[in-house]
Structure 1
Amino acid sequence: MPLSEHEQRVLAQMEKALYAEDPRLASTLKSTASAAGHGLDRRRVAIGVLGALVGLALVVVGVMSQLIWVGAAGFLLMVLGGAWAAKPHGRPHLGVVGSEGRRPGPGGRGGGGGGGGRGPKGPRPTGGGSFMERMEQQWDKRREQGPS
C-alpha cells in the first residue's frame, strides 16, 4: 500500500532529523537496507507452504493406507517445504564487528579505526611460541597469584 503525501513528508522529515542527529548511523542503515535483500519472498513462501501442505496430505494418505514409505516421504516434503518457505532469498552478509560497533570496510580492515576488534596492538609475549604455551603460562601466573 503506498504512503499518503502527508506520510511521505513525515518520513522525509524523520530521515532528515536522523541524518542531522547521527549521520554515521543513518548512512549505515541506508547502505544496509539497500544491500540487504534478505526478506522473505512471497513466491518462495507460497511454494514452501504448498509443499508443506502436500507433504501433510501424503502423511495422512500414508497413515490411512498403512504405507510407511508414503508417510515418510510426506513428512520429508513437509519439513523441506517449511524450510524452503522460512529461508531468506538473499545470502546473508556475515562479518566481524569491530570494537566500535562497525563492520570492516571492503579492504578487510576495520572500516575507520575499529581494528577488527582485536584490542590494542602491544608487543607479543616473549616467552613461549605457540598459542597453547602462552595460555599455559597465563594459567600458571593466575594460579601463582592465588584467589583475589
Structure 2
Amino acid sequence: MPLSDHEQRLLEQMERALYAEDPKFASSLRGHDLRRMHRRRAIRAAAGVLVGIALLLVGVIVKIIALGVLGAVVMILSALLAVHSWRQLPGAAARAAGQPAGPRPARAPRPVMQRFEDRWNRRREADGR
C-alpha cells in the first residue's frame, strides 16, 4: 500500500532531521552499493590469493607440510571467492571482453553441414587454393 502525500512528506522531513542530527549514522542506514561491495570483496580475495601463495612458498622452503597445505587451501578458496565476486559485478564479464553490457543477440542457428562447408571453404582460401 503506497504512502499518502502527508505520510510521504513526514517521512522526508524525518529523514532530513536524522541526517542533520547525525550524518554518519544516516549514511550508514542508506545502504551499500552492491558494485562497490563486490569489487572490495574481489580485491580482498585477490590479496588472500597472494597470502596463500606466500604461505605455500614458506611451507615448502621451511619444509612444514601443514603450512604448505594451509597456504594451498587459502589460495584456492580465495581464488574461488574472487571469481565469484567478480562475476557478481553487473556487466563485468562483458567489460572484460570489450563488449557492451547486456544480453547477447541471438544468432540464427545454421545447419551442421553448412558450418562444415564454411570451415572447408575458409581453409581452402587460407591455403591459397
TM range (shorter): 0.3 to 0.5
For CA contacts below 8 A with separation 6 or more, give which structure has more relative contact order.
2
Task: Pick the structure with more helix per residue.
Answer: 2
**TM-score using structure 2 length:** 0.35
**TM-score using structure 1 length:** 0.32
